[in-house]
């Protein structure tokens, strides 16, 4: 099939390459000429494991191209909308500017029978508006939310946990147009569907809600365990053992129960806020009142770690040298959007500490956003002369860091384990003061 992918960020670039790898002829379109140039040369414009290989494989087939010109979408019969929906500046709602612009620019190029497939995370109601605007073009809209995780984007795109199609429906049943849309998408996803990946076919509203409901649940799970960490801190209990023990109950499950600095990134924080805002517009804000607490618990962890730094530094971080290991919002990513690591680093710097941050992949992005912070290329260089070291993003190389090697360069052996991934016994045996979130 001929496919266009509008928006080539973390979602669209991976989706375009994956669709070409599945055998389709794909053009990826983005307004950012530098990104298009990189992708056209089969270079990944951001760090994502497996993406360089996927791009190389897909480009070699001759089925994948990129362009900054929306007119290149003409001729494709399926158009995926993959643009970002960031948090609106100064507000707790989604900014739909990119969706609006991309859709308006795509509209002149769609033909009767084409499918416009929404993948962006949007406030419920957006799909219905866009479908309305397709009336008269003969093209149809499907809402097909995306669930990929950064760091696992290639695997999640090629082998998703599930596929969801939101199609036009009347009385809960797909209309003729809805049935046509499903048939076309079944062809697009023939390979994953043949692997037995579950498919949920539903209406527009449900499909849009599935995405924000899933992210809200994940955020709630993380904040639940971080709330338990607060209880553990008040009682001397250990949140990691608590998580193991409750996680053995299959109804609860151990995944996403890692207590620490909490969630960040370009998705969970802004999605729960936009969801609350939308619920307010729909007159059901009480239904999502708990998400306010989820957000608060999460933000409190960032404050708590600064307090911990103060505690281990005898009451003040003013003039103290702090090494922060990690800048990305999570390992295996160079994404620093709403990164807990950087927000804590900046907070400590504002409070008078001399902060040096390191990260294996995210320093360039971090320095562009936080030019006032100091950066070092390696953990050992960041930690040179440090009064306290904070592990903020659990990259493998920080999990496995040798306490004896680090001890040689620091001024004081004080380690804050912001992700509960170090072995306290090993660090204490090496002479370190070890403190963590939710662990004695």
Q: What 3-state class would DSSP assign to 7?
A: coil
Catalytic pick from 8, 82, 232, 267? Answer: 267
Question: Can you read off the two tokens belonging to residue 381?
Answer: 């260089």
Closest approach of Cβ 71 to ligand UGA, in Å? 28
Write 70-75 long-range contacts (CB < 8 A, 24+).
70/6, 70/29, 70/105, 70/106, 70/109, 71/109, 72/4, 72/27, 72/29, 73/4, 73/6, 73/27, 73/29, 73/106, 73/109, 73/110, 74/109, 74/111, 75/2
Residue 272 contacts residue 223 (beta carbons within 8 Å): no
Judged by beta carbon, residue 135 or residue 231, the one nearer ligand UGA is: 231
Closer by beta carbon to ligand UGA, 328 or else 410: 328
Q: How far is the CB of 278 from ligand UGA (least distance, A)?
A: 15
Which element (helix H / strand E) includes 66? strand 64-67
Neighbours of 294 (CB within 10 A): 26
Closer to ligand UGA at the Cβ: 4 or 220?
220
- Please say if 267 is a catalytic residue: yes
Kindly state the smallest distance separating residue 338's Cβ from ligand UGA, in Å: 8
Smaller CB separation from ligand UGA, 134 or 306 = 306
Write the CA distances from 62 to 42, 272, 430, integer angstroms. 11, 40, 55
Residue pair 327/362 in contact (Cβ under 8 Å)? The answer is yes
Which residues partner with 355 through β-bridges?
Answer: 322
Closest CA relative to residue 271, chosen from 111, 431, 145, 421:
145
Contact set with ligand UGA (CB under 6 A)? 121, 146-150, 215, 218, 222, 256-258, 260, 262-265, 267-268, 329-330
Among residues 5 and 257, whose Cβ is nearest to ligand UGA? 257
CB of 343 to ligand UGA, least distance (A): 11
Q: How far is the CB of 147 from ligand UGA (least distance, A)?
A: 4
Contact 345, 373 (CB under 8 A): yes
* CA–CA dist 27, 406 (Å, integer): 48
**Residue 416 backbone phi and psi in degrees, to 5:** -110, 120
Greatest alpha-carbon pair distance for the chain in Å reads 73
Which residue's CB is nearer to ligand UGA, number 149 or number 300? Answer: 149
* Residues labelled as active-site residues: 267
């Amino acid at each position: 099939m001929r496919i266009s992918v509008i928006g080539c960020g973390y979602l669209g670039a991976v989706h375009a390459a994956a669709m070409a790898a599945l055998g389709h002829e794909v053009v990826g379109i983005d307004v950012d000429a530098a990104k298009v140039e990189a992708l056209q040369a089969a270079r990944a414009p951001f760090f994502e494991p497996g993406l360089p290989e996927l791009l190389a494989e897909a480009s070699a087939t001759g089925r994948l191209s990129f362009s900054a010109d929306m007119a290149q979408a003409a001729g494709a019969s399926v158009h995926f909308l993959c643009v970002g929906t960031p948090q609106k500046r100064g507000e707790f709602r989604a900014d739909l500017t990119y969706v609006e612009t991309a859709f308006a620019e795509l509209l002149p190029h769609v033909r009767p029978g084409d499918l416009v497939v929404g993948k962006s995370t949007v406030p419920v109601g957006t799909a219905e508006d866009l479908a309305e605007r397709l009336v008269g073009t003969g093209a149809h809209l499907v809402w097909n939310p995306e669930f990929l995780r950064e760091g696992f984007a290639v695997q999640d795109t090629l082998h998703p946990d599930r596929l969801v199609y939101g199609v036009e429906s009347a009385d809960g049943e797909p209309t003729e147009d809805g049935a046509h849309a499903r048939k076309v998408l079944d062809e697009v996803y023939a390979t994953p569907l043949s692997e037995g990946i579950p498919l949920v076919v539903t209406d527009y509203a449900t499909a849009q809600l599935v995405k924000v409901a899933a992210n809200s649940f994940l955020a709630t799970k993380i904040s639940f365990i971080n709330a338990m960490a607060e209880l553990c801190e008040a009682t001397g209990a250990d949140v990691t053992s608590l998580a193991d023990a409750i996680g053995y109950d299959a109804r609860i499950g151990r995944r996403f129960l890692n207590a620490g600095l909490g969630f960040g990134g370009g998705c969970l924080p802004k999605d729960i806020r936009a969801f609350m805002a939308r619920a307010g517009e729909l007159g059901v804000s009480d239904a999502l009142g708990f998400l306010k607490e989820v957000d608060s618990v999460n933000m409190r962890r960032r404050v708590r770690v600064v307090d911990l730094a103060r505690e281990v530094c005898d009451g003040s971080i003013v003039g103290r040298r702090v090494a922060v290991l990690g800048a990305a919002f999570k390992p295996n990513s160079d994404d620093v959007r709403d990164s807990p690591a950087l927000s804590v680093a900046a907070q400590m710097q504002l409070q008078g500490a001399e902060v040096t941050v390191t990260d294996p992949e995210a320093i360039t992005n971090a320095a562009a956003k936080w030019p006032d912070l100091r950066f070092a290329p390696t953990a050992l260089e960041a930690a040179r002369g440090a009064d306290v070291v904070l592990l903020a993003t659990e990259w493998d190389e920080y999990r496995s860091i040798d306490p004896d090697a680090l001890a040689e360069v620091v001024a004081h052996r004080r380690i804050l384990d912001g992700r509960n991934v170090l072995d306290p016994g090993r660090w204490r045996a090496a002479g370190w003061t070890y403190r963590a979130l939710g662990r004695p």
